[in-house]
């Protein structure tokens, strides 16, 4: 489960880019209740999706020829420069080097050995997202990759993640948590592309919490998004579905199972 403790290696931020922020912000307002707060020149126009006075996600207008619309996850690092070296040593690549964001923090962007983009955040004035594990907030993360074992090794080298394997008829699902945490601090999973016919490309998928998964599916269809996978129910986990927003950025939603419900075996 995501935690505002923001341990090293845990997700701390998520943002998206799209050519038309006004268009996608209307979509997310209907779906999650987010309001777009435009950023000023001092942050290069970087904006935030706000919910009940807190930040739920970041957003940036980006021409389609410069970057395909997508969501990007940020993981906490105590030292962005050291992490950049670890990424290179582990076989990843640098998309953009470490930069200072005023006094808010330091960031850098990378790709893992399978070419999946991700970013890191070194805390300054901003520690991370305000809205987590509640409707409209980030609640889970998932990596789809051609080689789950290689991905687990890479991210383990970079962030020190600890893992727990869960077997299912579809294959092995590897759940991860920070090095200084326990399985109760699991924040994501790593799945092989071969085990999920609905996925054909390696990428990180953010999940946002909802109260009503079926209602979210209906809203996505009504507001011009794409339902990539209709509602699936899993005992002990909840109900979830996968979407793409009107610009094409992929994300998912989760309606958590009631507390105490046993997981499917």
φ/ψ region of 169 (left if φ > 0, alpha if ψ in -120 to 50, else beta) reads alpha
User: What percentage of the chain has pLDDT greater than the value 70?
Assistant: 97
Tokens 């002990």, located at residue: 236
Domain encompassing residue 54: 11-123
Asked whether residue 133 is assigned to any structural domain, the reply reads no
Measured distance CA(182)–CA(180) in Å, rounded = 7
Measured distance CA(30)–CA(205) in Å, rounded = 21
Alpha-carbon distances, residue 140 vs 77, 82, 143, 176, 255 (angstroms): 19, 26, 11, 11, 11
What mean pLDDT comes out for the span 23-42? 95
What mean pLDDT comes out for the span 198-222? 96
Task: Give the tens place of pLDDT for each residue, 158-195.
Answer: 999 999 988 876 778 999 999 988 778 899 999 999 88
Measured distance CA(217)–CA(229) in Å, rounded = 9
CA–chain centroid gap for 147, Å, is 19
Per-residue confidence (pLDDT) for residue 42, from 0 to 100: 87
Q: Are residues 146 and 243 in the same domain?
A: yes
Q: Quick check: 8 pLDDT over 60?
A: yes
Q: Are residues 43 and 108 in the same domain?
A: yes
Asked whether residue 1 is assigned to any structural domain, the reply reads no
Asked whether residue 46 is assigned to any structural domain, the reply reads yes
82 or 179, which is more confident: 82
**Stated pTM of the model:** 0.95
Q: Are residues 111 and 178 in the same domain?
A: no
Task: Give the tens place of pLDDT for each residue, 100-153.
Answer: 999 999 999 999 999 999 999 999 999 999 999 999 999 999 999 999 999 999
* HSE-up of residue 15 (Cα within 13 Å, Cβ side): 23
Residue 98 main-chain phi, psi, to 5 deg: -65, 130
Angle at 217 between CA 69 and CA 119, to 5 degrees: 30
Asked whether residue 5 is assigned to any structural domain, the reply reads no
Burial state string for 87-121 with b = 16 or more CB within 10 A and e = fewer than 16: beebebeeeeebeebeeebbbbbbebbbebbbbbb
What mean pLDDT comes out for the span 213-219? 98
Q: Are residues 168 and 243 in the same domain?
A: yes
Q: Quick check: 223 pLDDT over 60?
A: yes
Per-residue confidence (pLDDT) for residue 258, from 0 to 100: 86
Whole-number average pLDDT of the chain = 93
Task: Give the tens place of pLDDT for each residue, 54-79.
Answer: 999 999 999 988 999 999 999 999 99
Count how many domains the chain has.
Answer: 2
Q: Name the token pair of 240.
A: 């979830």
Q: Are residues 119 and 142 in the same domain?
A: no
CATH of the domain at 15: 3.10.180.10
Asked whether residue 264 is assigned to any structural domain, the reply reads no
């Amino acid at each position: 489960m995501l935690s505002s403790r923001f341990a090293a290696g845990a997700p701390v931020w998520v943002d998206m880019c799209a050519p038309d922020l006004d268009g996608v912000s209307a979509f997310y307002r209907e779906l999650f209740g987010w309001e777009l707060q435009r950023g000023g020149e001092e942050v290069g126009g970087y904006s935030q999706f706000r919910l009940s006075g807190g930040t739920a996600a970041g957003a940036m207008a980006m021409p389609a020829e410069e970057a395909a619309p997508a969501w990007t996850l940020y993981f906490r690092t105590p030292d962005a420069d050291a992490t950049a070296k670890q990424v290179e040593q582990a076989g990843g690549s640098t998309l953009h080097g470490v930069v200072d964001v005023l006094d808010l923090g330091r960031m850098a962007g990378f790709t893992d050995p399978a070419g999946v983009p991700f970013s890191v955040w070194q805390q300054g004035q901003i520690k991370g997202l305000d809205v987590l594990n509640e409707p409209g907030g980030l609640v889970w993360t998932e990596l789809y990759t051609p080689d789950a074992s290689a991905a687990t090794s890479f991210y383990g080298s970079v962030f020190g993640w600890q893992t727990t394997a869960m077997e299912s008829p579809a294959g092995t699902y590897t759940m991860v948590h920070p090095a200084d945490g326990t399985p109760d601090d699991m924040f994501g999973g790593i799945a092989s592309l071969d085990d999920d016919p609905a996925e054909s490309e390696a990428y990180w998928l953010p999940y946002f919490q909802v109260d009503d998964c079926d209602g979210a599916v209906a809203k996505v269809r009504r507001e011009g998004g794409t339902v990539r996978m209709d509602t699936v129910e899993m005992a002990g986990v909840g109900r979830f579905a996968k979407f793409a927003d009107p610009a094409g950025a992929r994300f998912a939603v989760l309606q958590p199972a009631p507390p105490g419900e046993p997981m499917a075996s």
